[in-house]
Structure 1
Amino acid sequence: MNLDSAKRVLSVRGWLRRLPDGFRQEFLQGARLRRFQSGEIVFHVADPATEFVGLADGLLEDHIDPGTGTPRLSFIGHPGWWIGGVGLADGSWRRATVVARTPAVVLGVPRGHVEAMARADGSVWKHLAGNISAHYDRLSMLLLASTHPDPVMRILLTLSRLHRFNDGAVHFPVTQSELAEMASLSRNTANRALRRLVSGGVVEAGYGWLRIADPGALDHALAGISGPHAQTVRRAVEVG
């Protein structure tokens, strides 16, 4: 994949596809192509946030440290996923470690290019804020999944995050152990919850993969969530 083809992918998938064409084209004019091998670090937590990173090909893993000193897999990004907006906006540092799960091609848009655009048009920060808001919603759902008392609901919330924040993707090359980690469950508990969803026709599962067979059933199950996180879940459903 070359620079032009990467720009085409990111123009029609994910965050950028919802934005005005003029902004999208000018934003991508400053992009540079980067390639990573499986297992290679894209950036570490606490690194300077020098660029906004968009995934054009492959898969990326998002790892966060919940305060235990042990990084935790929180998300698997598909093409169209952008990461790094929070630190980019205020010139601070990375909030997570991002690793190439497979060989990956990304575009990096330097902070200087974004700032130059913003000096000419203040709405640039509004567009960037939309991406940051989506990450907030994704992390709010992670928090809800980590604390919800029902293991089945934890799995549903985790699948919904993968689905909604990856442009409606339904197939995920993820192990059941990784799903358990993202849902803050033991592997055995996650497997029991997943079997219930498989028997209900919501999910199909095999060795190293999961598929959401019925996205509508996923939405229906999440519609019953109440409390402070209910609005976050509703926004996530609307994103899809």
Structure 2
Amino acid sequence: MAFREQVLQSCDHIKLCTGQAVFEVGDEAGGIFGVASGRLGLHVPALGHEPTLSFIGGPGFWAGDLAAVAGIARRTSLIACCDTEVLRLSRASMIRLAREDQDAWLHFAELMAANFTLSLATIGMLRRSSPVARIASLLLNLAGRQQRAPLLSFEVVPENWTGC
């Protein structure tokens, strides 16, 4: 069976209401989450401040990989921007898939590289001294227009999936 099908069969399907958290800063790493329909907002905490919206991911976007792979507490919050359906691949399923298919870690590494690229774009946005340049960079990040590596080598949306 292809890796994509193994992942889809291993995922839990979760429906979220607008404003509902997938996870919050400090939560235990339970797995990775892929958007099937709707939008998720990635909120990054700043020292001494509330988490700030840094990115909005739509269908095909996966998040939570760093904490899931490393087994550490969440460092960001992921919140539904609208009614959203996500797929959750548990950390235990990730480990099981990697034991069964040695190429699985390559797919997870590709995801981590793409999300690291997103992190660098966010840092670049925050370092801009001009408010106009910072807002323009933020809008590019939110629109997902920064140059990024492919998130995974398979699509998140299973066939016959109904969206919001």
Say whether 1:37 aligns with 2:17.
yes
Map residues 1-240 of structure 1 onto 2, 5 A cutoff: 22-164=2-144, 236=147
Structure 2: runs of 5+ lacking an equivalent: 151-164
The one-letter code of the counterpart of 2:56 is I
CA–CA distance in 2 between the matches of 1:64 and 1:151? Answer: 19
**Once superposed, what is the RMSD of the aligned Cα atoms?**
2.0
Task: Kindly state the Cα deviation for residue 238 of structure 1 after the two structures are TM-superposed.
Answer: 7.0
Counterpart residue type for residue 48 of structure 1: E
Distance 2:148 2:89 in 1: 28
Cα offset for 1:237? 6.1
Query: Distance in 1 between the 2:11 and 2:18 partners?
Result: 22
Q: Secondary structure at the match of 1:158?
A: helix
Q: CA deviation at 1:70?
A: 1.5
Task: List gaps (5 residues or longer) in structure 1.
Answer: 1-20, 169-232
Q: Which digits, 9 at most, give the CA deviation of each residue in 1:56-82, with x for residues without a partner?
A: 111111111111141111111111111
State the alpha-carbon separation in 2 of the partners of residues 91 and 237 from structure 1: 25
Query: CA 1:160 to 1:48, structure 2 compared with 1: closer, same or farther past 3 Å?
Result: same
Q: Runs of at least 4 residues of structure 1 off by over 6 A? A: none
- Could you list the per-position Cα deviations for residues 150-177 of structure 1 after superposition, in whole angstroms to 9, with x for gaps in the alignment? 334323322332334xxx6xxxxxxxxx
Q: 1:42 to 1:237 in 2, by over 3 A?
A: closer
Q: Secondary structure at the match of 1:87?
A: helix
Other structure's SS at 2:19 match? coil
Residue 54 of structure 2 contacts residue 138 of structure 2 at CA under 8 Å; is this kept in 1?
A: no
1:115 corresponds to which letter in structure 2?
I
Q: Look up the match of 2:154.
A: none
SS in 1 for 2:97: helix
CA distance in 1, matches of 2:56, 2:4: 24
Question: TM-score with structure 1 length normalisation?
Answer: 0.58
> Do 2:19 and 2:79's aligned partners in 1 also have CA atoms closer than 8 Å?
yes
Q: 1:237 to 1:53 in 2, by over 3 A?
A: closer
